[in-house]
Each structure stands twice: as C-alpha cells, then as structure tokens.
Structure 1
Amino acid sequence: MTTSSAEKRVVVEATPAALATRVADRFLTRVRARTRNGRIAHIALTGGSMGGAVLRAASEHPRAAEIDWSLVHFWWGDERFVPRDDVDRNSLQSRQALLDHIPVPQENVHEVAGPDTGLTLDESAAAYAADLARFGTDEHPWPSFAVCFLGVGPDGHIASLFPDREEVTVTDAAVLAVRNSPKPPPERVTLTRPVLNSSKRVWLVMTGADKASALGLALAGASYSSVPAAGAKGRKRTVFFVDEAAASEVSVDLIDQAY
C-alpha cells in the first residue's frame, strides 16, 4: 500500500494477543528512538482490555530494558473520577500492567486526581490542565504526545468524548469534566480533541466484531461529532491497530501491514 504520512493507516493482526504484541513492539521502538538522544517522550495511555494488554506485552518485552524511562512521562487520555485504587481507574490498570514494572520516576506519572484527594470533579479537571501546562509548547499549553493511545468504543467514542455530546466539539479547553457519561462510571475527566490531535502519533487500538462498524465509519470520514474516532488524527501518523474481527468491513486497499 502506498500512503502519505497524513493518511489513516490500518494494521491488522489475527488475534487480540498478536495485536498486543505487535503494538507493544512498535511502541517500544518509537519510545527508544525518541529518547535515544536525551529527548523527553510524553505518552498518553488509554484503558480497556487492549490498553492493558499492550502495556503488559511491553513490560514483558526485552526491549523495555533498553529504554531510559526517566525520560518518559505518562499521561491518560481520560480517567474515571473514582479513588486511585478503584478497579475502574485506567491508571490502576496501567500501573499494574507496566508502570509498576519499569524504573519510571513517580513524578513522571501524571495521574488524574480522584475524589479521595479531596478535589471535586471540576477541580480535578483544572488541576490536570495545569499539570499539562507545565510541559506546554510554543503552540499549546500542553505537551505534544509522542504517542497517544486511544481505545474506540462500539459507538465510536474515544477517551471520554462520546457521540453527539458537547464535549466532543470543545476546542477552547485542554481538559473537561464529564458528567452523566453514557458509559459508567458517570463522572470522568477527559482530554479534548485539540490535545489529542496535537499528538505526533495517534494509535487507535480496537478488537472484536462489535467494533467493525465504528472502524468503518471512522475510515469513511464520518462526522466526528457523531463518530468521535473519525476526528482523531495525529500530526505525523494516524494508525488503527485492529484484529481480523474488527477489520471485517475494511477494504483491502486501506490495510498497510508494512507499518
């Protein structure tokens, strides 16, 4: 397949396990390349079964020992507003899968504050925006992620940006408090589209036949307000890493196995 860097790419593996291994390998290669000359790498993580599977595969990969993790900062595209050790927390899953197994400084792990910190939902969102701003660029009051992982729901949602809700259209804020989420738990904190799309690479990882329709719509250029995944776009690369079940509706000419 011949494609420009601006186009969306689709990489397919037979099973979720094979996909997790493929993405983990690619992730560690990218982080090593980014940090090799002492540069900082900001990474946005996601939750869900595949988010955890990729990080577990990364923690078990021999190349993980080759990376200077002191140069890597971890963030989350969204978080459930529950206590730090609640099983619903994306950050808990990430810690158990990878972060507790690598020598990353605690100050490099930027978790969203939960209700156990004494902050309200709105205060938590504001605190996360302030933390992002500490690493802002000349262009934006937030870092540009070297890799931004996103899960995709069957409804096409990414992070906690759900279809046909006001949060998906907000462009004048970095972080939003989400209430009455259509997917429990109801209270969440999410990055906005401008932050996600300022990432160098956006990697959407999705598996299962129930994701096939959302993937097809995202690739077809559906309205991002109705299918938020359609509006996800990295500045250098936008890659959908999917298993065969999710790829059932993808045209062969959109698949780029070389990436």
Structure 2
Amino acid sequence: MKNRIYNSKNSFFKIYVISILTMLTNFFTTKKNVEKLIEKNLEELKKNKEKELTIFVYGIRIGRYGSLFNAINWFKKRGLIMIPIECESKGSVPYSAKKIKLQIKKIMQKTNAKKINIIGFSYGGFVIRYYSEMLGGYKIINKIVTVCGPYNPLSPKKSLAFWISKFTGGDPVGDNIMLKKLQNKYSVKNHLSIYSLKDWILPRKDTKSYKAQEIAIRGGHLFISYNLDISEIILDYLKK
C-alpha cells in the first residue's frame, strides 16, 4: 500500500523538549501510580459502554512508569481510554503472545467489551501481529497499529535489533522464523504501520510492510514512546 511521510505540525524543538520533560517524570512516577490509573480507566470503560477498548502493548525497555503514565493521560485527555499491557521480552514470541491473549481476555471480561483496537510499540508490534494472525486475535480486533516494529526477518549483519533481542533473553533466530510466517498475513483490514526515517535499531528493510498502510515519522527508535508525532497519528487513526 502507498506510504507517506507525516506532515508534522510540531517543531523538532517542541518534540525534543516534551521528550526530555516526559523522561524526567520517570524518576517521580511509580508502578503504583500507573496501576491506580489503569484501575480507574477500567472502571470508566465498564460504566461507559460507548468507550472504545484500546490496548497498548509496549516492547523492550519502553515500560518506564513515567512514560506509561504520561502516554495514558495524554490519550485520555483527548477522549481515548487506553489500557497498557507489558510485553514479555524474554523467551519466544508465541509465549509472549499467549500471555497477551490471556490478559486481553481478562480486560474484555472486566469491561464487557466485544471489540478492541490494539497498538504495539517496537517488539510489542511483532507480538500483537502474532497474536492477531496465529492466535485468532483478528476476530476481535477492529484496528491494529504497529510502531517501529519488524515485518521481515532480521539480518544478524545489518540489524541491531537482532543482537538486542539475543542479549536481553530473546530468541532472534526463532523470531525470524515467525516473521517469515507473518509476512503475507494481514487478516485485520485496518492495519497501520508507523516507522522511523532514522531508525538505526531496525533498518527500513526490516520494517517494510507490503500490505499495511504506512506512515513515516521523524526521529529514531529509542524515544518512540515520547514522540508527540506518533501519539497524534495514533489518535487520528483510531478516531476515524
């Protein structure tokens, strides 16, 4: 499908300043703060049946409490209630996806939701695609969004992500087998892939999708959970 570069209204300086300020909150936001916010969101979703259930699956090293707290609040202030799920980075993708499936089932039971939108950052994008295609998740997914996630097998010679996975307890060789199986599977019609123009962890060859809608953003891979452009793209896509 045709891809485009996001026409950002935010200056690089604005994005940089917001990223720095958000990162500083990591030192003051605790796990308890995030858990309280999640419980509050679950209660609101349960009471208000018109609210969409949006699941946010984050990848390796993104699960900083300040980052999550600010992201959840940012979307909530704009009418989108989001429930984050931690992605298990150690072990196989099938194992991680099965854990995600169980957590989603529990959340849907609590909120009485029938359908979900699901967002996956980095490794989380890979896991939600496996969940969708191999574990039947596509049956309940309305829209799927991946952010700087792999779509093609990773090269040990050219992809830093291969070695990050290997040295953080992952299985990059097994991951490549799964990525190959997923290459032509797009059961969810509403599928958006956001990729970075300057991603030195996952080269463009790794993030290239041939069937999903694609949007390119400025910036690199490391600070994607703080990138205001990414948040705006996701909000606009899910609100359509």
Q: Same-fold call, TM > 0.5?
A: no
TM-score normalised by structure 2 residue count: 0.38
Compare the two structures and name the one with the higher helix fraction. Answer: 2
Q: What's the TM-score once normalised by structure 1's chain length?
A: 0.36
